Chains A and B, each alone.
Chain A
Amino acid sequence: GEDVEQSLFLSVREGDSSVINCTYTDSSSTYLYWYKQEPGAGLQLLTYIFSNMDMKQDQRLTVLLNKKDKHLSLRIADTQTGDSAIYFCARGRLYNFNKFYFGSGTKLNVKP
């Protein structure tokens, strides 16, 4: 996914917190996004953060951005079995057009 890297798998127990990590190399990115993909489905936008922010919280989701290290994380509190899916980190740069670069995805498995 052109300089967006993610770990491939994460396994947690129901009720625990999940932390999915992403690193990128292009510091000109304006927006960073998290998408969720369930089996056989398209991508669902979960949340996004502007590159001038450090943190964004949205209900059970917390996004942390470390611009110095070019590291983005998504924390899911109280993880449920319905959260089992593939999570994609994406960076976008609104320049002439909004082309997104996606990571390869992290498969989250939530055990009951």
Chain B
Amino acid sequence: ETGVTQSPTHLIKTRGQQVTLRCSSQSGHNTVSWYQQALGQGPQFIFQYYREEENGRGNFPPRFSGLQFPNYSSELNVNALELDDSALYLCASSLGFLAGEGTGELFFGEGSRLTVL
């Protein structure tokens, strides 16, 4: 069983640039969530995709956007990068949330560490 994989593992951007982070969900999982973890903090929910549709969003501005593909892999896009966007971005997959689909526990990838200069 393949776990959650993310790419790239590290990247450096400058303010104003755009970034795309990628995630392959665990085999059999149809739901992908993205979290931002600032240094010394717990992860903060960005949004979730369920069967290719955004299915919930946290308190992040519209310049954070995403996609989920038919194979359930996902992308996180951040436009107009700001210094405060520097963080570890975590992707987590799960087996949905509807009755019978699972108990919702999240399985995380290793993360993509973004530094904005």
Contacts and interface: CB of A to CB of B under 8 A. Distances in A.
Interface of A: 1, 4, 31, 33, 35, 41-45, 48, 88, 90, 92, 94, 96-105
Contacts of A102: 35, 42-44
A interface, over-half SS:
strand
Nearest to B90: A42
Interface residues on B, range: 20 to 34
Given A42-B4, A43-B92, 19 more contacts: A1-B44, A31-B103, A31-B105, A33-B106, A35-B108, A48-B105, A88-B42, A88-B43, A92-B104, A94-B97, A94-B104, A97-B48, A97-B55, A98-B97, A100-B45, A101-B45, A103-B42, A104-B40, A105-B41
Given A45-B106, A97-B55, A105 B42 contact: yes
B94 A98 contact: yes
A97 B56 contact: yes
B42 A42 contact: no
A42 B105 CA distance: 15
